[in-house]
Structure 1
Amino acid sequence: MERYRFLLLLDTDKIKDYVFASSKLKEVRGASRLLDYLNRDVSRRIIYQSFGLPDDFSKDEHERFRIVYLGGGAGKVEFVSREDAIRCGEEIAKAYKKWTRTASLSWEVVEIDTNHYYKCVAKGEFLLRLKKQSPLTAGQSFHLGIFHRCRHQETDAVEAVNQHFYEIKEVTEAYYSLRAQQGESFVKVGPASLIKRAFDQYYERYQSCLSRSSVVKQLRAFYGENWEFPKQLSVIGQADQSGHIGLIYMDGNRMNKVLQTLQTVESYQQFSIGLQNAIDRALVETITQLYPRGQLPKLANEDEDEQKGQPSEASVLPVEFVLAAGDDLIVIVPATKAMTFAEKFIEAFGVYANKLIDGQAECLTMSAGVAIAKSSFPIKYLVPFAEQLLKSAKKKHYERRLQGESSLERLATIDYMVVSMSSNPDLATIRQEQLKKNEEDIDYELTVRPFDLATWKSLRQLVAQVKRHRPRFPSSKMKQLYHLHFMERWEGEYYFQKLFMNLSDFHKQSLRQLYSLVGQGIFPSFWYQKEEGVYASPLLDFLEIYPFIDEAENVLVGEKGGNGC
C-alpha cells in the first residue's frame, strides 16, 4: 500500500482581479510578488510547521507528506492522512486572507489512485472549479477613492479618503505605525493597496530569500547591479519614445493532453518543475536578447509618490512580468518590442518545453494575445482585452490542429490589436461591428488575424523590410489604403488601382508579398475571396502594426525555434 493516500490541491482565486486592481505599477508588482511568495514560500512553511519540523528543514518529502508542486498560484501536496491535508489546506487559506485581505485560496482533498494518478488530479481540479464558481467570502473591489472601510485593528469604522487609491498621508503613516506595533510585517494593518506596495519594497530588499526570484537573480547576474525595474507604466512607454506599451498574455496549448500521459506522481512532479523552468529560461533569454548587456535605456524612473523635482536618470530594464496562473504569463514591454518579445518567447519556450516530452506525439506550444495601448490606458481594462486576444489565438491553434499541422511554427499562434478607445474594449464587438461589413449579401472581413507563428514571422519581416527601405512608404498613401476598406467595393477598387499604379516598384512588390502570405494575389482588387460569400483583406493587419515594429528588430530575432517539435 502506498504511503501517501490523499492529495491536497491548492489554487489561488481570481489572480488577475487582485493583481490588476490598480493601474499603479508598484501595486501590480507587489501584488504579483506577494501571491507568489504566499504560494511558494508561506505555503511550504505552513506545511512544515504543522508537523513541528525545524526551521532549517527544506525537503519536499517527509514520512507524513510529499510536496509535488508549488508554483504559478497553485499547488499539489500528498499526505498520509486526510486530516493532515484538511488542516494544511485550512491554514494556507487563512494565511492568504491574513496577508492579502482581499485575495483568497480554494483547496480540495481527494483520495489518490496510484494506478490512475491523472484521474484523481482531474477529479480534484473539477471539484476546485465547482468551489470557485460559488460566491466568495473575499474579493478584490475597485475603489473610487471616496471612502473605504477601515481595516486598522479589525474595526469597522469608515475613514474618509480624499484621493484615489488611498493616496493620503495620514493613512500611510497609520499603516507603518501599526505595522511597527504588530512586529509582523503586513498583518492586520491593511488596506490592500498599501500591503501590495510594502511587499514590493520588501521583495526588493530581501529577494535573495524568495524562491521565485530566480528570474530576477539571472537578470542581475547578466546586467549587474546598477539598473532598475520601471516604477511606472509611463516609464515603459518612454523607453522606445512611443508613449505606448504592449501587454502580452501567453498561455500553453493543450497542456492537459500531455498531463494525461503522466501516470505517476514522479513524472507529474518532474514535468511541473520542468515546465516552470522552461518558462523562466525562455523569459530570461528573450529579455536579454531584446536588451543586450550595456544597452539598457537611460530613463527618468521616478515613483508616482516620490518627491517631485528634477528626476535623475537611471539604467532601466523596461520590462514587467507578473504572475498569472499555471503556465500563463503576462509581460508588459515597450510597444515596439511587444510583438518581437511574444515571437521570441514562444520560440524559446517551444525549444525548452519540448525537451520534457521527448518521444511523445504531442507538441508543446504557446499562444499569445498582444494588446498595444498608450501607457496611460487603464491596465485593468487592457488585461482582459489581451486575454480575449489570447482566446482568439487559441482558436487558430485549434484550427491548425484540425488541419493536421504538427510543427511548432504552425501550432503556435498569435493575435494582436492596437487599442485606442477610452472605454472598456471588447474584441468580439470590434471585429464584428468595426472590422466586418456586408454589401449585397457578401461579407467583407477587414482583418485576417490571428496568425500562426510562421505567418506572423513573415509579416513581421515584411514590415521591417518596408520600414528600412528608402524612400519610405508615403504616410499619405497608407492613410488612403486604410480608408479604401470603408468605401463601397467598386469605389474602393477604383481608388486602389490608381494608388497602386503610383507606388514604386519596391512598394508594389511588398504589397504582393503581403497577399502571398494568405496565398492570394493583390491586383486588380485588394479584396480576395476567402470562402463562398466572404471576402477579406490583410492590409489593415499590416497598417495597424506598422508603427510598432522596429526596423532593426529583424536582426535580433533568430530562427532558433525550428519547424518541428
Structure 2
Amino acid sequence: MAKNETFEEILKENRVLVSIETVKIKDFIFSTNKLKLIRGASYLLDYMNQVEVPRILRKYGLEYKAEELVNKIYDISDDDEFLKQIDEKIDNAIDKRILYVGAGNAKFLVESKDAAEKICKEIKELYREIAPSAKVVAECYEIKENEKLWDGIDELVQQTAEKKSEGFPMLNIDLPFALKCDLSGTEPAVISYKNIDEDLEKIEIHRSGYPWETTDEKENGKGTVEFKDDTKKQKDNTVKAIENVIKEGKLTISEESAVKIKYSNKMIKDDENEIGFYSIIKKALVDKEKIGKMGIKRKIDELSSKEISKLADIHLNTEIDDYAVGDSFIGFVYSDGDGLGDFLKNVKKVYTTEEKYLKFMRKFSVILDRNTKYVLREVIKKMYNDKKFIKKKTILKEDGKPKYEIINGEEKIVEKSIIGEFLIVGGDDVCAVFPADLALEISSEFQKQFEEKMKKFTEIENKKNEKKNPENITSSCGVVIAKAKTPMFQLFDQGLKLQKLAKGKRYNENQNRKKDAERTGYIDFQVIGNEGNVDIKEYRKKWYDKFDKKEENKNKLHISKRPYSINKLNDNVSESIDELIKNVKDLKSENFPNTKIRYIYDLKKDETKTDNEKIMESINILSKMSLEEIQVLDEVWKIKDKIKLDFETGNEKFKEFFDNIFDILEIYDFIQKDEKSSEKEDNKSGN
C-alpha cells in the first residue's frame, strides 16, 4: 500500500475491521510452576505477537515495524521531543491501516471480508502449530455504510467477547490409559526422555513461520500457512535444552511444555529478533566498564543480541529461589493501567472525524506500550546504579561447570546480577518477580513515573485540541510477598485480588472527587507465609480503614491504611506509599528493632486491656528506648501529644494510635535501608 495515501482514502477503501486477541494468557503462562517454562511461555507470546503475526500481515501488504520506530527514538527522555518524533515517523514504520499490534492483541483494517477471513484463518493456524495451547480469537467486522469507525470497533469488541464466552475445546486426559505431562499435569505427554530426537521431530517443533519477502511469494502464499525449518544449530540447541530439563528426572512431557522450553532457551541464547522487555533491559544493563576492558569500540546499538547478552549484567537463566530474601520470600508484582476505558470513551468526543480518530489511536497504542517499558527500564536502571540489586549468580556452561572469562589478562568466574523475571510487560501491564526487598519500591516508583508520562502525553494532546480529554491514565498494582515455594499461579491470583482492591479504592475515590481533580493510582500489598491461597479479604476483616467512615467499623482496629495512593492526595482520602516507605526507612535509619514494633502491635490487639492500661504499658515501653528511637517514633506516628491518660472519659483513643503499624510491621524486612542509613549503622558499630 502506498505510504502517501491519505487517511481519508484509507478509510474509504478499507471498511473491514479485524481483531486478533490472545486470551486465557494466565492459564498459558502459569500452566506449570517451573520458571523456565513460565519464562518460555511469556517469551513465546511476545514472539508470536511481534514476529509471526506481523509476518502474516506483511503478506497482505500491511507493514508493521514498530520496533524499528521505537528503537530509533526510544531513549528520548524529553516527552515533547519524543511525541514530536512519533508524529513525524509513525506513518513510515506502521501501515496506516494498523491501529494496534502489541500485548497479545492486534487491530487493523483491510479492504475486503475475504482478505480478513484469510488473515484470521492463517493466524489461528499459526498459533495452533507454533504455540499449542495458546488461545487466540480472530474476528472481523464489516463497517456499515455511514457507521463510524469507533462504533465499528465497539461492535467488533462485543463480537469478540461473545466468541470468547463460547469457550475452547478441551481434551479429556483424565482417563486410566492417558499419560500426563510430568511438568504441567494437564496435557497429554508425547515426548519421552528415551526418544527425545524422534519425538520432537514428530511434533515438528523445529520450525517457525515463513519470512515473506518478494511480492510474488506473498501473493501466491495468501490463504495458506507456510513454515521455515530451523537451522541445525537451532535444532541442536532446542534438543539440548529439552534434554537438560527432562533427562535427569526421566520425565515425559507434552508438546506444549517442549515448545515453552524451546522458547525459554531461545530468549537466552538466540534472541535474534530482539523482542520483549528482556531485549530492552539487557541493553540498559550492559557493563560499559567491561566493554572497555574487552577492547570493544562499537556502540551498544551496533552490538548483536548475543554480544549484548554476554555483556549485560543480568542473569537470564534464574530459578525462583534466586529471588528469595530473608526466610525465602520473593516479591510478585502485578500492575495494570487505570482509566483507559474512560479515557478512550472521551477520545471520540475530542477527535470527531474518523481520520483524526484513527491517527490518534495508532500513536496512542505505541506510546502506551513504550511508556510502560521505558519507565520500568528506567526504574530498574536507577536501582541497579544505586546498587540495590545485591545478589549475583554464577553463569554455568552446558556441562554445569562455572563459565570463565579473561579480563585484563586475568581469568575470572562469570557472575551476573539477579534482577527480575519479566512475565508480562507491554500495553499497560507489568507482571514480574523481583527480590522481595525491592518489589514494593520498584512497583511504586514505576507507577509514579508511568503516571507522570501519561499525564504529560494527555497535556500535550489537549493543547492541540479545542475539546479536552479530562481523564488521566494511571496504574494500580497488587504486590505479593510470599514464600518462594508458593505456586506461581497462586501468586498471580493473589496479585490480581490485591490489584482489584487497589482499583476499587481508586474507583471509590473517583466517586467523591471534584470533576477537574487529578487522579492517581493505588497499590495494595500482602505478605503471605506458608498458605498461598489465604483469603485476603477474610484475613483483613478486623482491620479498620481510617478512610472508611462506616459506623460498622467504629470498634475495629486502626492498624492499616491499605491500599496506598501513588501520589499524595487529601489526608482524609488516603496516604501515599512514599510516606509509608519513608516511615520504614526512618525507623531503620535508627536501627529500630521490629520486635518493639511487634510489641506495640500486639498491645493494640490485646482485647483484655483497657485503653488506659495500654497507654500505661506503652509509656513503659517508651521509657526503655533511647531519645533517638523516641524521636523517630514521633516522626512516624506523632505520639508525643497523643499518649495521655484520661480516667474521666474512659479513653477509647488508643486504637487510633499507630494507625498503620501492621503495614510497617509487615514490610519492615522487605524495604532496603538507603545508603545513608547503612553509613549511619557502620558509624555506630565503629566500622
TM-score, length-scaled by structure 1:
0.81
Q: Gapped runs of 5+ residues in structure 2? A: 1-10, 69-89, 208-228, 239-252, 289-307, 349-356, 404-412, 463-468, 546-550, 569-575, 646-652, 679-687
Alpha-carbon distance change, 333 to 291 in structure 1, aligned in 2, over 3 angstroms = same
Q: In the alignment, which residue of structure 2 is the partner of 1:41? A: 51
Q: Helix, strand or coil for the counterpart of 1:432?
A: coil
The residue type equivalent to 1:367 in the other structure is S
Deviates more, 1:474-483 or 1:14-23: 474-483
> Which deviations, in whole Å up to 9, do the C-alpha atoms of 1:37-93 show, x marking residues without a partner?
1112111112223569999xx998999982221101111011111221122122212
What's the CA shift for 1:417? 0.5
> Which deviations, in whole Å up to 9, do the C-alpha atoms of 1:365-423 show, x marking residues without a partner?
11111000122221110111011000111111122223326776x61211000011335
Whole-Å Cα distance in 2 between the matches of residues 168 and 316 of structure 1? 35
Alpha-carbon distance change, 17 to 301 in structure 1, aligned in 2, over 3 angstroms = farther
Deviates more, 1:340-349 or 1:475-484: 475-484
Whole-Å Cα distance in 2 between the matches of residues 281 and 63 of structure 1? 20
Whole-Å Cα distance in 2 between the matches of residues 554 and 407 of structure 1? 36
Query: Does the alignment pair 1:77 with 2:142?
Result: no
Q: Could you tell me which of 414, 429, 435 is aligned with 1:334?
A: 435
Q: In the alignment, which residue of structure 1 is the partner of 2:585? A: 464
Q: In the alignment, which residue of structure 1 is the partner of 2:500? A: 391
The residue type equivalent to 1:72 in the other structure is A
Residues 72, 325 of structure 1: 8 Å contact kept: yes
Query: Does the alignment pair 1:270 with 2:363?
Result: yes
Whole-Å Cα distance in 1 between the matches of residues 323 and 523 of structure 2? 22
What's the CA shift for 1:483? 2.2
Deviates more, 1:222-231 or 1:453-462: 222-231
Alpha-carbon distance change, 474 to 204 in structure 1, aligned in 2, over 3 angstroms = closer
Identity over aligned pairs, percent: 22
Q: In the alignment, which residue of structure 2 is the partner of 1:348? A: 449
Whole-Å Cα distance in 2 between the matches of residues 127 and 539 of structure 1? 49
Query: Does the alignment pair 1:9 with 2:94?
Result: no
Whole-Å Cα distance in 2 between the matches of residues 62 and 341 of structure 1? 32
Q: In the alignment, which residue of structure 2 is the partner of 1:498? A: 617
Whole-Å Cα distance in 1 between the matches of residues 587 and 95 of structure 2? 64
What's the CA shift for 1:218? 3.2
Whole-Å Cα distance in 2 between the matches of residues 295 and 445 of structure 1? 33
Q: In the alignment, which residue of structure 2 is the partner of 1:542? A: 664
Whole-Å Cα distance in 1 between the matches of residues 489 and 616 of structure 2? 43
What's the CA shift for 1:318? 2.0
- Bigger Rg over Cα: 2
Q: Could you tell me which of 322, 332, 336 is aligned with 1:235?
A: 322
Query: Does the alignment pair 1:170 with 2:194?
Result: yes
Residues 235, 318 of structure 1: 8 Å contact kept: no
Whole-Å Cα distance in 1 between the matches of residues 634 and 628 of structure 2? 10
What's the CA shift for 1:476? 3.4
Residues 502, 523 of structure 2: 8 Å contact kept: yes
What's the CA shift for 1:540? 0.8
Q: In the alignment, which residue of structure 2 is the partner of 1:192? A: 256
Q: In the alignment, which residue of structure 1 is the partner of 2:80? A: none
Whole-Å Cα distance in 2 between the matches of residues 361 and 181 of structure 1? 50
Residues 9, 75 of structure 1: 8 Å contact kept: yes
What's the CA shift for 1:282? 0.3
The residue type equivalent to 2:159 in the other structure is L
Query: Does the alignment pair 1:411 with 2:496?
Result: no
Residues 544, 556 of structure 2: 8 Å contact kept: no
Alpha-carbon distance change, 294 to 480 in structure 1, aligned in 2, over 3 angstroms = closer
> Which deviations, in whole Å up to 9, do the C-alpha atoms of 1:271-301 show, x marking residues without a partner?
0001001011101101101111888645335
Q: In the alignment, which residue of structure 1 is the partner of 2:564? A: 451
What's the CA shift for 1:464? 0.3
Alpha-carbon distance change, 313 to 25 in structure 1, aligned in 2, over 3 angstroms = farther
Q: Supply the RMSD in Å over aligned alpha carbons.
A: 4.1
Q: Could you tell me which of 457, 476, 487 is aligned with 2:595?
A: 476
Q: Helix, strand or coil for the counterpart of 1:473?
A: coil
Q: Gapped runs of 5+ residues in structure 1? A: 142-146, 150-155, 530-535, 557-565
Residues 268, 317 of structure 2: 8 Å contact kept: no
Query: Does the alignment pair 1:552 with 2:639?
Result: no
Alpha-carbon distance change, 451 to 161 in structure 1, aligned in 2, over 3 angstroms = closer
Query: Does the alignment pair 1:431 with 2:516?
Result: no
Whole-Å Cα distance in 2 between the matches of residues 10 and 290 of structure 1? 37
Question: How many aligned residue pairs are there?
Answer: 526
Whole-Å Cα distance in 2 between the matches of residues 431 and 280 of structure 1? 34
